[in-house]
Copies of this chain bind each other. A is one copy, B any other.
């Protein structure tokens, strides 16, 4: 095996700051959403994605792609959301193998109630703390990472 290319001091400092900053940010948003809406950020993202889809419906496969989550983790989350009455699962009428997730009216209401507080959190912990130039840099960095 080739020699390990260890991180140099600068790369290491960047990596550790990035890990700590993202962990703290997502922990804060999780705690706030849990307190105010009784759900973690991953569940909120599922509701957002369904709310924007035609007929508030997505194939489970599409929903997994939209939320960057594994099929097994998504299945678990959707099952919890179904127990809460926020999502309904049904079989796709044109493709028996394609399971669908549908946002219910209660799910839509839960999302509408949670959204203002969540947006305030995203502003307070991220958007309002960065300059417009830093926001542009963060977008370019994120899109570079997603593009590969």
Contact = CB atoms under 8 A, between A and B. Distances in A.
Interface of A: 1, 4-7, 10-11, 13-15, 17-27, 45, 68-70, 115-116, 119-120, 122-123, 125-127, 129-130, 134-146, 148
A142 B69 contact: no
Given A7-B122, A14-B139, 17 more contacts: A1-B116, A4-B115, A15-B127, A17-B142, A18-B126, A19-B68, A21-B141, A22-B142, A23-B68, A24-B68, A25-B145, A129-B145, A129-B148, A130-B145, A134-B140, A134-B144, A138-B141
Count identical subunits in the complex: 2
Given A7-B127, A45-B19, A127-B7, A27 B146 contact: no
A17 to B, nearest CB: 4
A112 to B, nearest CB: 11
A91 B148 CA distance: 48
